[in-house]
Amino acid sequence: MKKVTPHAIAYIVRFALSRVSSWRTVDSDFDYEIFWTNIVTCFELVPGPVTRHKMNALLEWWTRKVFGTNHRQDLTPEVVSQMSINALAKQRRMLEDAVFDSE
């Protein structure tokens, strides 16, 4: 595994929310198969490009959090440009430009 996927998130959430140590489709009155399918569907069947972009960005964020920076090849240039250090640099440039323009 090199990156976080919708299936991995669904599997992890399923075990994080229960005390069971092995897979069961139904635990008491809760159907984990439906729950798992709903999580995967949330990521994979999106209504449009804006939501797709947000879901991909979320998966990329989780990949960085789980695997660290050794998997930079999994990050798109757009995600890298939105990282906090780059966002801060952009804000500083805009502030400098605003101050320079007002002088």
Q: What does the pLDDT look like over 26-49, one tens digit per residue?
A: 766 778 888 889 999 999 998 899
pLDDT of residue 31: 81
Whole-angstrom distance, CA of residue 18 vs CA of residue 20: 6
Q: Residue range 81-86: average pLDDT?
A: 71
Mean pLDDT of the chain: 80
Q: Residue range 65-90: average pLDDT?
A: 71
What pTM did the predictor assign?
A: 0.56
- Are the CB atoms for 5 and 40 separated by under 8 Å? no
- Are the CB atoms for 71 and 87 separated by under 8 Å? no
